[in-house]
Amino acid sequence: MAMDNFFIKSDYVIRTDPTYYVEEPSDIIWQHHVYALAVYIARRLRCETIIDVGCGNGEKLRVFQGEFEFFGLDYGANLAYCRETHSFGTWIEVNLEDSDAYPQFSTDVLSKSVIICADVIEHLVDPTYLLETLVKWSMDAKAVILSTPERDMVHGFDDMGPPTNPHHVREWSLWELNQLLAHRSLPIKYMGLLLSNNYIRTPQSIIAIIGTDDWLGDAFSKFHRELGYFFRQPDKQPITDSSAESWVMDSLEKAQAEVTDATLKIARLQHQLDYMKNEERSYKRRLNGFLLLLRRLYKKTQLIPILRERLADTQNDAYLAKWRFDRATKDKKRLQETVETSEETISELEETLQAWQQRVQLLQKQLQAKDYALALLHKRLEDTAE
């Protein structure tokens, strides 16, 4: 995985010509938990403004109008719908792949804001400017809430792209997105899984809570616990004032049993396993190159019998590493131990390579010394003959 591929696995194929996504009103409400979580955090941190980057048709903000000031960033048909339909909010035309298009919010506005970026990053051919802007805004904003589909949970661990959704350029796994955000120095307080919409009962979206407030690290668990608590107590008023939000509390109550620490740990182990598979392929390539180098060096020094013995030992080490890796796939609880063992094996092979390289250099020096001695002997013989 490399930054030039935004930390997605190297063989993954992206879509270079995504179609524009027009968000139409529907019974299926996407990212509903993302918006409920953002409002929950905004209330807890006493925010006045919500900035929605890639706001779509803006319908998910309607429930909370009057409570916050809204800024919606989008373009095309989605922005036109917002301006024609909604009497609330400020709707700003922005091409998210243009560095000069982003509005310049003051520090005073950002310091009282929660920023939402719900299922947007996967639509961009180049999300560099979006990430740079989020880094800049996160330094002053109370929180940034980012979500995107979790590729492995949606399509399986063998998916190599391009995404089946014609509007998506690329999709990340939880592990890959964590690497990308960390590389960009975004202050991540929480990353996990969340339900994608109000129909699918399996968590298939990544949720990232970003900000500098330490409270944000526990915000996700507190959000689920508090909404679930109020929903179960008929004598208490929900923490949300609008009856239109009852579906949010109902969905969260049902989702609590599904989005557990165990589910998240299994997902993380699966991501680590996928990462280990890529590492194994890379390790095999390095091992093959190492074996080829040894063959050439020892053939020149006429140490082929010793080389064969060392090759056999190296192959045994490789088989042992493979056995350990296969065992780790069957017992995820011992994955970390297998990772450490593989790293030690690679370190030992590198030390072995260095030792043999030193030995070859020593042998070459000895050969040079013998050649020099032989030349002196020839010269003496010639001098004697004369």
User: Which pLDDT tens digit goes with each residue over 105-125?
Assistant: 999 999 999 999 999 999 999
Which has more confidence, 234 or 320? Answer: 320
pLDDT in the model for residue 19 = 95
* d(C-alpha 2, C-alpha 247), whole Å: 41
Which has more confidence, 230 or 178? Answer: 178
pLDDT in the model for residue 291 = 77
234: number of Cβ within 10 Å = 6
Phi, psi of 195 (to 5 degrees): -65, 145
pLDDT tens-digit map of 301-350: 655 666 667 767 777 777 777 777 777 667 666 666 666 777 787 788 78
Secondary structure E strands in 225-264: none
* d(C-alpha 187, C-alpha 173), whole Å: 19
Give the β-pairing of 143-149 and 113-118: parallel
Could you give the dihedral angle defined by the CA atoms of residues 251, 253, 257 and 260, in that order, rounded to the nearest 10 degrees? Answer: 90
Phi, psi of 150 (to 5 degrees): -90, 105
The region, left, alpha or beta by phi > 0 then psi within -120 to 50, assigned to residue 7 is left
Which has more confidence, 46 or 215? Answer: 46
CB 202 within 8 A of CB 257: no
Across 46-50, 53-57, 111-115, 234-238, least confident range: 234-238
240: number of Cβ within 10 Å = 20
The DSSP letter of residue 164 is S
Burial of 362 (0-12, 13-18, 19+ CB in 10 A): exposed
Burial of 358 (0-12, 13-18, 19+ CB in 10 A): exposed
pLDDT at 134 over 80: yes
- Here the tokens at position 350 are 């590198």
Smallest Cα–Cα separation from 209: which of 186, 232, 241? 186
Which has more confidence, 70 or 215? Answer: 70
pLDDT at 252 over 60: no
347: number of Cβ within 10 Å = 10
pLDDT in the model for residue 130 = 96
